[in-house]
Amino acid sequence: MSDFNLNLSEAEEHLDDEPEGDVVLGILDGTTEPTEWVETVEAGNVLVLSVEGDLNELAKGFARSVRDMGGGLTHFREFLVVTPPGIEVNTDRL
């Protein structure tokens, strides 16, 4: 069997210490400016928004911007989950 050298201390230097972004809880009721939601997602955060009203009407101010940047929007029950690029919502168990 050949020798296999693995230096974990060097590997750790290439790992990120902290995950990027947070999970931000909010209420989608039309009182928050759509640009604020877009900026929050652009910063790498995931939004979990409680929808209070007509989802299509409330999300129209930011949904296209989020999609254009590569983010995602998933409606689940009374919530809208908005993700930045690279974060997917797995709906396989629904």
Q: What CA–CA distance (Å, rounded) separates 93 from 56?
A: 25
- Over residues 13-29, the mean pLDDT reads 82
User: 92 pLDDT exceeds 80?
Assistant: yes
The structural domains of the chain, with segments of one domain joined by +, span 24-29+37-88+90-94
Question: Other C-beta atoms within 10 Å of 92: how many?
Answer: 4
Distances from the Cα of 46 to the Cα of 7, 69, 91, angstroms = 34, 14, 16
Please indicate whether residue 17 or residue 46 has the higher confidence score (pLDDT): 46
Q: What CA–CA distance (Å, rounded) separates 92 from 86?
A: 18
23: confidence class by pLDDT, cuts 50, 70, 90: very high
User: 25 pLDDT exceeds 80?
Assistant: yes
CA 91 to chain centre: 14
For domain 24-29+37-88+90-94, the CATH architecture is 2-Layer Sandwich (3.30)
The pLDDT, as a whole number, for residue 27 is 98
pTM over 0.75: yes
Q: Is 5 helix (H, G, I), strand (E, B) or coil?
A: coil
